[in-house]
């Protein structure tokens, strides 16, 4: 095969002149921190996902933590989540002083397995954090049913899930807390940033938690006719989004539909190219969902190859193809392993799939030639290392 001359990065952002001009315009105004553009971004995002309201924050991690604190979750409480996620999903539970309880995933979607959730519920359980892994929505109906039965709150980790749908409804359209990420690698970006959707009543409390616990934020205090007096009603956090970030987000949101169309085109090419290979397991798409395709996670079939995942990645790197692994499961990190006495095979579906997964480049900056190069490189490695 002909080798690429330029390295193909795994997931660079796609920032246009519109975003750049909007940021520059913001820098020329009186508001560069949380102000009118952040408020506009909140309204437009809530409208896009058809949600009841939105609160712009500086990360998805902040959104998850804010939701937990708003619910009053703390010491002695338990929160159920999945080991197949970035560690932030568990870290926020630790921040709150509660205990993360991990539940294994479904073998097809790699989302939390609702059939295993109920067995993990105890009198101490307060919430469930399903993660919409790679952009494929978790099976939410049975999760909500369990939450209603046991009087729990569902806090969705939707870091990958803009703009996914479950049974025709956008993730984030319901009244429960849902946390989104706008990190640089995500389907839309504000560089760093996140959003929390929920009912207006919940967001009213969450907004106080997210900004030092003050009952009035700067946007209200410094408006014409505003009053300098404020009260701190809880020891909150500094989690607000800036108007500079929101300037990016406003345009990224406008472009999201075209971004997604390109992602789907790339995925379709990957699926056709890899679907018949006995050495490769391609991502699934359950019929009741609309996948956000944040990640394209390929799984190797060890019985068909003479090399393992890590060497496969090295071979792709040698062919100038950037990849990643999503994720090192929570229970394999030393903090969680040591604190809770967790072992590799405590979650066998998660562990077995982790050993054979890699994420291929998937972003709207990719050209048809980039896609062809990825496909050719993957199939060439398979051919050279077939058992």
The catalytic residue positions are: 186
Tokens of 105: 């995933």
Q: What is the 3-state secondary structure (H, E, C) of the chain?
A: CCCCCCCECCCCCCCCHHHHHHHHHHHCCCCCCCCHHHHHHHHHHHHHCCCCCEEEECCHHHHHHHHHHHCCCCCCCEEEECCCCCCHHHHHHHHCCCEEEECCECCCCCCECHHHHHHHCCCCEEEECCECHHHCCCCHHHHHHHHHHHCCEECEEECCCCCCEECCEECCCCCCCEEEECCCCCCCCCCCCEEEECCHHHHHHHHHHHECCECCCHHHHCCCCCCCCCCECCCCCECECCHHHHHHHHHHHHHHHHHHHHHHHHHHHHHHHHCCCCCEECCCCCCCEECCCCCEEEEECHHHECCCHHHHHHHHHHCCECCECCCCCHHHCHHHHHHHCCCHHHCHHHHHHHCCEEEECCCCCCCHHHHHHHHHHHHHHHHHCEC
260 Cβ contact list (under 8 Å, min separation 6): 163, 187, 292, 293
Tokens of 260: 């997604």
The answer to whether 47 touches 170, Cβ cutoff 8 Å, is no
| CA torsion through residues 371, 372, 375, 378, sign | negative
Phi first, then psi: give them for residue 57, nearest 5 degrees: -135, 175
| HSE (side-chain half, CA atoms, 13 Å) at 45 | 35
Q: In what order do the strands lie in the sheet with 54-57?
A: 54-57, 194-197, 178-181, 156-158
């Amino acid at each position: 095969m002909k080798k690429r001359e330029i390295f193909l990065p795994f997931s660079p952002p796609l920032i246009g002149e519109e975003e750049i001009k909007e940021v520059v315009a913001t820098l020329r105004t009186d508001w560069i921190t949380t102000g009118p553009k952040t408020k506009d971004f909140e309204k437009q995002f809530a409208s896009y996902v058809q949600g009841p309201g939105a609160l712009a924050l500086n990360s998805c991690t902040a959104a998850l933590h804010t939701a937990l604190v708003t619910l009053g979750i703390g010491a002695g409480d338990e929160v159920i989540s999945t080991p197949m996620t970035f560690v932030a999903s568990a870290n926020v539970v630790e921040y709150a002083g509660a205990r993360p309880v991990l539940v294994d995933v479904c073998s097809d979607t790699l989302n939390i397995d609702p059939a295993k959730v109920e067995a993990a519920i105890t009198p101490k359980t307060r919430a469930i954090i399903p993660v919409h892994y790679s952009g494929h929505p978790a099976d939410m109906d049975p999760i909500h049913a369990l939450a209603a039965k046991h009087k729990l709150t569902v806090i969705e980790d939707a870091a990958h899930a803009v703009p996914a749908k479950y049974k025709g409804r956008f993730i984030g359209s319901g009244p429960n807390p849902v946390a989104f990420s706008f990190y640089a690698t995500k389907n839309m970006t504000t560089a760093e940033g996140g959003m929390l959707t929920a009912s207006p009543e919940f967001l009213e409390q969450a907004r106080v938690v997210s900004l030092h616990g003050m009952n009035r934020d700067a946007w209200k205090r410094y408006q014409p006719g505003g009053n300098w007096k404020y009260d701190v009603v809880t020891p909150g956090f500094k989690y607000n989004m800036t108007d500079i970030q929101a300037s990016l987000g406003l345009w990224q949101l406008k472009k999201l539909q075209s971004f997604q169309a390109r992602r789907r085109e790339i995925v379709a090419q990957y699926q056709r190219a890899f679907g018949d290979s006995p050495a490769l397991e391609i991502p699934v798409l359950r019929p009741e969902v609309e996948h956000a395709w944040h990640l394209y996670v390929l799984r190797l079939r060890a019985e068909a190859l003479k090399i393992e995942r890590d060497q496969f990645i090295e071979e792709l790197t040698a062919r100038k193809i950037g990849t990643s692994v999503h994720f090192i499961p929570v229970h394999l990190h030393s903090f969680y392993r040591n604190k809770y006495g967790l072992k590799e095979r405590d979650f066998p579906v998660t562990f077995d799939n982790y050993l054979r997964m890699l994420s291929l480049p998937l972003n709207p900056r990719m050209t048809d030639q980039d896609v062809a190069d990825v496909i050719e490189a993957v199939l060439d490695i398979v051919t050279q290392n077939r058992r």
